Amino acid sequence: MTPKIQLALLPGDGIGPEIVAATRAVLEALDRRFSLGLSYETHEIGHASLARDGTTFTDAVFEACRASDGVVLGPVSHNEYPPKAQGGLNPSGELRIRLDLYANIRPSRSREGLPHYGRTGMDLVIVRENTEGFYADRNMHLGPGEFMPTPDVALAVRKITAQGSRRIAQAAFELARARRKRVTAVHKQNVLRVTEGLFLREVRDVAKAFPEVELEEQLVDSMAALLVRDAARYDVVVATNMYGDILSDEAAELSGSLGLAASINAGESHAMAQAQHGSAPDLAGKDLANPASLVLSAGMLLGWLGRRHGRAAFADAERAVDLAVDGLLKDPATRTRDLGGTLGTRAWTQILCNGLDGGSGRRP
């Protein structure tokens, strides 16, 4: 008997519970169609957890995530959380660090029927280092990565390591080898000579093991401009944490909408689906949220699980949900309001599920 695949669902804040519910409905439809053997556990995080447990992310929830095969994380309002000492942990950052989810993989491509600005045929993936860099919550063993020696001086420490640079480069080249065989390494080595020099040293060394993959290097400011000029020329882009974060949002908008921006956070033994956008508390509870980003991210998670467990049906499910979303986007009548349609969260999810399982989809 094929073993069950356990998913931990973390609804989060704002629109998180609505789009996680929609994503579960889509996963259930895919399970019915492809016999994936999925099971689910839902765990509170964020404001709901803070009110009940005094922290936004309990150790028990972390252990449940570590014991699962994959995690689906809803958006969180971490900017509204109290300080860490008062229980305000960022679940996204905590999971990335504690599960060593070092690769944040963010595809962006143009889709038929939607206006886009990256030229016809845009189809790129940004592979972003996820566990170090300038971000204060993931670059120090003890203490903050930002500090103020005086009330008028603020400093931030950026951490770049050979190991972190090498393994994100490895992930990028492996992905490019299965795509169009081109990697663009983004950097600012002309100014940050030491840290960017270390990153580029490791990227160039990894490139030697992939002679069939072309490597080019691009300054981050030039890269931001070139994405606007002609995003279609790029295949796989590898970058350190902050550069990858910024460029992936730019690429998502150029491809049509941040609301369609899928992503997974992957490591050696764990992976987490996560929408690129935020929690949009102003839309919460109004049936207005577009769940496509998290739905597509969950599809990417299925693809990762299929490769990890040798389950071809999971790759079929990932392709099916991607094609089904494409089909809905072609027609304004089957789009959500943010993309020029009229559908709410539940209606869009229902139509998607019906298409995936032949009309037997149930309302989320």
| Annotated active-site residue in 84, 181, 188, 326 | 188
Token readout for 277 is 């956008």
For the question of residue 221 being annotated catalytic, the response is yes
Known catalytic membership, residue 135 = yes
Distance CA 105, CA 263 (A): 5
Locate 225 and state its tokens: 């401009």
Q: State whether the Cα torsion 293-298-301-302 is positive or negative.
A: negative
- 3-state DSSP of the chain: CCCCEEEEEECCCCCHHHHHHHHHHHHHHHHHHHCCCEEEEECCCHHHHHHHHCCCCCHHHHHHHHHCCEEEECCCCHHHCCCHHHCCCCHHHHHHHHCCCCEEEEEEECCCCCCCCCCCCCEEEEEEECCCECCHHHCCCCCCCEEEEECCEEEECCECCHHHHHHHHHHHHHHHHCCCCEEEEEECCCCCHHHHHHHHHHHHHHHCCCCCCEEEEEEHHHHHHHHHHHHHHCCEEEECHHHHHHHHHHHHHHHCCHHHCCCEEECCCCEEEECCCCCCHHHCCCCCCCCHHHHHHHHHHHHHHHHHHCCHHHHHHHHHHHHHHHHHHCCHHHCEHHHCCCECHHHHHHHHHHHHHCCCCCCC
Four-CA torsion 278, 280, 281, 286, nearest 10 degrees = -140
Tell me, rounded to whole angstroms, the distance of Cα 308 from its chain centroid.
Answer: 18
Q: Residues 221, 230, 330, 331: which is the catalytic one?
A: 221
Of 53, 100, 249, 338, the active-site residue reads 249
249 is catalytic: yes
* Catalytically annotated residue among 31, 69, 235, 245: 245
Active-site entry in 135, 159, 243, 357: 135
188 is catalytic: yes
Enumerate the active-site residues: 135, 188, 221, 245, 249
